[in-house]
Amino acid sequence: MALKLLSKLRIQNLQIARYHHRLLAVTRLFSDRPVSNLSTTDDSKFIIKNKPQTTTSSLKQHELAKFAAISDTWWDSEGPFKPLHVMNPTRIAFIRSALCRHFSKDPNCARPFEGLKIVDVGCGGGILSEPLARMGADVTGVDAVEKNINVARLHADLDPETSTIEYCCTTAEKLVEEQRKFDAVIALEVIEHVAAPAEFCKSLAALAYPGGATVLSTINRSMKAYATAIVAAEYLLHWLPKGTHQWSSFLTPEELVLILQRASINVKEMAGFVYSPLTGRWTLSDDISVNFIAFGTKDEMGTNFSVKSALLFLGILLNLAFKTKAGSIVIYWGQDGREGTLTSTCASRKYGIVNIAFLSIFGNGQKPQINLAGHCNPSSNGCQKVSNDIRNCQNQGVKVMLSIGGGTSGYTLTSDAEARGVAEYLWNNFLSGSSNSRPLGDAILDGIDFDIEGGERYYVVLASRLSELSRGGSKVYLTAAPQCPFPDNWLDKALHTGLFDYVWIQFYNNPQCEYNTNNPRSFKDSWNRWTSSIPARMFFVGLPASRAAAGNGFVATDVLKSHVLPFVKGSPKYGGVMLWNKYADDQSGYSSRIRDSV
C-alpha cells in the first residue's frame, strides 16, 4: 500500500488514493476540478507565483466595505459578531494548547505566551488579540479596515493588560514588505474573505520565523456548511448579516492543507468546531465538515510541497476519519492535591471525560458536601475557582461530570422524597438550575456520575428525577461505575431504567471478575453479561491506573493492548477505558501508553 501511495504522489500534481467521506473525494482533490488536470487547469486561486506580490491584491474590496459597515458592533456580544464571541473560548483553547506544546510553554500558568511575538491577521475589533495579550504575548493586530482598528484601539485602552497591543491598519503583504517577523501568525475566519488564498498564505508564511507557528480557521466548502453557515446562520436564525459568507469562497480541508504546504507551512494538527444548540457552546471535535482550525509550522529549510509533507497531510486526514471509531479514556480527578489542576488534566489531551470526585455526603437529612481532597475548601467557597477549569475543559471537547458517592459511608437515601430532593440539589447547584451557593461556581457540568457503594432502593428515583429536570433543556449525561460482579449490589434497578448513557465497570478489587491472564474467561463472561443486559449507550473497562491505585485488578499495558482491548472492542457498545485515578496515571503514565490503542 505504501509503495502504491508513493507512486501516486507528485510534487506538482498531487494524486492520493481513494477514500470516502471527509478524506479526498474519489479521484478528486478539489471538489470543482479533477486532480489529473490540476497542472493544466486555471488554478491561479491556489498556485503561488514565483514573484511575491507586494500589494493588497489578496483582499476583496467589497469584503472590506462589508465589515466596515458593522465595525462599531465588534464588542456587542449580542450583535452581528455574536457567533465569534461564543466561539472565542474554544478557539483560544485550541491556540493555547497548540502553541504551548510547540514552544514548550506551561499551559497552566496565567501568562503562558510570555516572550512570544504573535500577529493577529484580520484582527477586526480585537476580540482575539486581547485574550492573547492577557496570556502574556507581545501582540500585533492588523486589519485592512480602519474603522475596525479604531474600535480595537479604543477597547484595548480600557485595560492596562491590553493597552500594549500594537494595532495597525495594514495587510499581511505590507508587513512582509516591512520585513516583520513573528513567533506565531494567526488568521481566524479570514481566508474565506480574501481573493487569492495562495498569495495570502504565502504572506502568512513569510511573517513567521523559521520553525514558527501558524494557526488558521475557516469554513469547509461542504453542503453541510452551506446549510448551516449560510442558510441557517444568515437567513433562518439571523446570527450573521445576510451575505456575510459566499459558499464558493470556502475551502475544503484538503485545499487549505495543500495551499499551506506549498507556502512551506506543514500542517501538524486539525480539529473541527461543533455547536450544540442545547448548551449554547462550541466544542472541539473530529468533525471538520463545517468549521475547522489548523495548526502548522514554518518549514525551517523553506522547502516547498514534497512527498514527505503530502504523506503527513494524508496521515492527518486518515486520523480524523478513523479517530471517531476509537474509544475514549475516562479519568477520576479530585482526590489527590498532587494530581494538578483540572485545566492541566484536560490540556493533556489524554481524556475524553473527567469525573470530579466526589460529592461524598448527601441524604439521610444531611447537607450535601463535596470533597476535593487537597484541592480546595468548599466550606469557604474555595472551590468556586474550579468553574473556569470546567469551562476550559468543555471548550476543548472534554465532558466534565460530578461523581457522587465513592468508597465512604457518608451517603444514603431514605425515601423517594429525599432522592428527588438530592436530584434537585444537583440540578440547581451543578447543572442548569440556579442557586446562590454553587460549590463549583457558575460553570454547568455535563452530567452526574453514580459511583455508589451502598444502599439501592432510591437511586432509581434520583436518576429519574435528574432525567425529568433535563427534559427540554441541556442534555444531562448520567453515568455509573458499578462493580464488575453482575448484577451490581446497589445500582442494578437504576441501570435497568435505560436512563444511563455510559457505564464504566470497575474490574478491580473484585477477583471473581477481574482480568486474569491465566483465566480470562471470568472477565469475558462479566463483560458480555453487562453489555448484553444493561440498556446503556456505551460501556467502558474500568481499571486502576497503577498497581498502588487499587488492592488488585491492575492490568499491565501490554496485556491490555494485546488481550483485553481486542476482545472488548468486539462489542458494538464499546466506549473505552476508565482509569482510577489522575494522580496514579501521572505516576505510571498508563494513559499515554494505551491511548493509541483505546
Binding residues, as ranges, are: 91, 122, 143, 188-189, 192-193
Whether the CA torsion 385, 389, 392, 394 is positive or negative: it is negative
How does DSSP classify residue 486?
Answer: S
How does DSSP classify residue 24?
Answer: P
Distance of alpha carbon 281 from alpha carbon 274, whole angstroms: 8
- Residues annotated within the binding site for S-adenosyl-L-methionine are 91, 122, 143, 188
Distance of alpha carbon 20 from alpha carbon 553, whole angstroms: 41
Q: Which residues contact 578 (CB under 8 A, 6 or more apart)?
A: 329, 330, 331, 332, 481, 504, 540, 541, 542, 543
Distance of alpha carbon 575 from alpha carbon 540, whole angstroms: 5
Distance of alpha carbon 82 from alpha carbon 141, whole angstroms: 20
Grid coordinates of 496: 435497568
- Residues annotated within the binding site for Mg(2+) are 189, 192-193
Angstrom CA distances, 12 to 36, 47, 103, 304, stand at 11, 10, 32, 10
- For every residue of 405-471, DSSP letters joined together read E-SSSSB---SHHHHHHHHHHHHHHHSSS--S--TTTT---SEEEEE--S--TTHHHHHHHHHHHHT
Whether the CA torsion 28, 33, 37, 39 is positive or negative: it is negative
